[in-house]
């Protein structure tokens, strides 16, 4: 179910700068590890991620977390240890970006997906994990850092900041309206920007956000809207290549169609029908 939701969110709106894994080879694997993991935890996570012994590893420190997240969430929420870790496997050009998580209790798959796309990461399989439940904030810092190492190209600091801001603001909004609603709303606004162009002023941006919320039947407070206006203005200012958005949308829609037509997709739909049928039967039994 989570995989389907992720694909649908990918389909409704992804904004990516022009940077890509151009200098990497398909199949390359890069691992990011939180610097505060014990040696045993590191070994356990490497086994869980099923990586070769000589895998390229990037370490993420708690100081780096505070550097990129300190402006958006309280220091106490970031914590004093970097634990969450990840694996990136480079895929062929045009294959798209997929994200899965384990033991991450605040940042969702969809939030990573949106933030990574904003930072310019694409055409890769991403797996985020930890030895126990954590917020997952260290992982985005690590993924962006690994991307820079793999491509030997520096991502501009303002792009890193807006990607982290997007991750946090979406997670905070998710605490109010639900994680899937928050991710869908952010993606929907991106879709509107890719199709209709960047808003000329805050009023146009506000109308775009409100329309997206209306389309998705989501209620936003005035503070929610103002925070989103600030976020999307920052996105606009980092020179995202909005022409690339349409290309990503087409690829994502193709993926969804192929999945639903596949044996796996048909099996998923059948199980979904059976699940809802069992619920209806259970409800009906109360009236017999």
Model confidence pLDDT, tens digit, residues 109-118 = 888 988 888 8
Tokens at residue 190, please? 């991106």
Question: What is the percentage of the chain residues whose pLDDT exceeds 90?
Answer: 40
Distance CA 199, CA 206 (A): 9
Question: What is the percentage of the chain residues whose pLDDT exceeds 70?
Answer: 75
Q: Is the pLDDT of residue 1 over 60?
A: no
The Cβ of residue 217 has, within 10 Å, a number of other Cβ atoms equal to 7
Tokens at residue 176, please? 């109010």
Q: Are 8 and 260 in contact (CB under 8 A)?
A: no
Tell me the per-residue pLDDT of 176-233, one tens digit each, with 9 for 90 and over. Answer: 999 989 988 988 898 888 888 899 999 999 999 999 999 999 999 999 999 999 999 9
Distance CA 98, CA 107 (A): 15
Confidence of residue 96 (pLDDT cuts 50, 70, 90): confident
Confidence of residue 23 (pLDDT cuts 50, 70, 90): low
Per-residue confidence (pLDDT) for residue 7, from 0 to 100: 35
Confidence of residue 18 (pLDDT cuts 50, 70, 90): very low
Per-residue confidence (pLDDT) for residue 271, from 0 to 100: 60
Tell me the per-residue pLDDT of 231-288, one tens digit each, with 9 for 90 and over. Answer: 999 999 988 766 665 555 455 555 544 445 556 556 655 665 565 565 555 555 554 5
Q: Rg (Cα) of the chain, in Å, rounded?
A: 19
Per-residue confidence (pLDDT) for residue 15, from 0 to 100: 35
Residue for token digits 């070769």? 52
Per-residue confidence (pLDDT) for residue 44, from 0 to 100: 96
220-158-250 Cα angle (round to 5)? 65
Q: What does the mean pLDDT of the chain come to?
A: 80
* Domain spans, the chain: 2-13+23-156, 161-237
Name, in order, each residue with C-beta under 8 angstroms of 133's C-beta and a sequence gap of 6 or more: 103, 104, 105
Look at strands 97-101 and 85-90 and give their pairing: unpaired
Closest CA to 69 of 81, 78, 58: 78
Contacts by 247-250 with C-beta closer than 8 Å and gap 24+? 248/10, 248/14, 248/16, 248/96, 248/117, 248/122, 249/11, 249/12, 249/13, 249/14, 249/191, 249/194
CA 32 to chain centre: 16
Closest CA to 27 of 90, 115, 103: 90
Confidence of residue 25 (pLDDT cuts 50, 70, 90): confident
- Whether this model's pTM surpasses 0.85: no
Distance CA 73, CA 132 (A): 21
């Amino acid at each position: 179910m989570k995989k389907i939701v992720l694909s649908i969110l990918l389909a409704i709106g992804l904004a990516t700068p022009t940077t890509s894994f151009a200098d990497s080879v398909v199949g390359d694997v890069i691992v990011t590890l939180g610097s505060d993991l014990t040696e045993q935890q590191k070994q356990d996570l490497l086994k869980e991620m099923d990586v070769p012994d000589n895998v390229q590893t990037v370490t993420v420190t708690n100081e780096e977390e505070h550097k990129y997240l300190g402006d958006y969430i309280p220091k106490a929420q970031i914590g004093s240890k970097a634990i969450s870790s990840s694996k990136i496997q480079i895929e062929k050009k045009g294959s798209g970006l997929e994200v899965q998580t384990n033991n991450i209790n605040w940042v969702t798959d969809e939030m990573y997906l949106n933030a990574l796309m904003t930072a310019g990461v694409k055409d890769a399989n991403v797996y985020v994990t930890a030895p126990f439940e954590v917020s997952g904030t260290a992982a985005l810092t690590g993924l962006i850092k690994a991307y820079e190492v793999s491509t030997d190209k520096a991502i501009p600091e303002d792009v890193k900041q807006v990607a982290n801001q997007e991750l946090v603001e979406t997670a905070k909004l998710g605490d109010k309206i639900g994680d899937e609603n928050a991710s869908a709303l952010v993606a929907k606004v991106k879709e509107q920007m890719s199709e209709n162009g960047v808003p000329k002023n805050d009023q146009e941006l506000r109308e775009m956000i409100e329309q997206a919320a209306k389309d998705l039947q989501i209620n936003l407070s005035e503070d929610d809207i103002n925070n989103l206006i600030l976020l999307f203005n920052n996105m606009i200012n980092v020179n995202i290549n909005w022409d690339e958005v349409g290309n990503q949308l087409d690829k994502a829609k193709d993926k969804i169609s192929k999945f639903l037509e596949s044996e796996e997709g048909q099996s998923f739909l059948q199980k979904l029908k059976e699940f809802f049928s069992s619920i209806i039967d259970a409800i009906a039994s109360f009236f017999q």
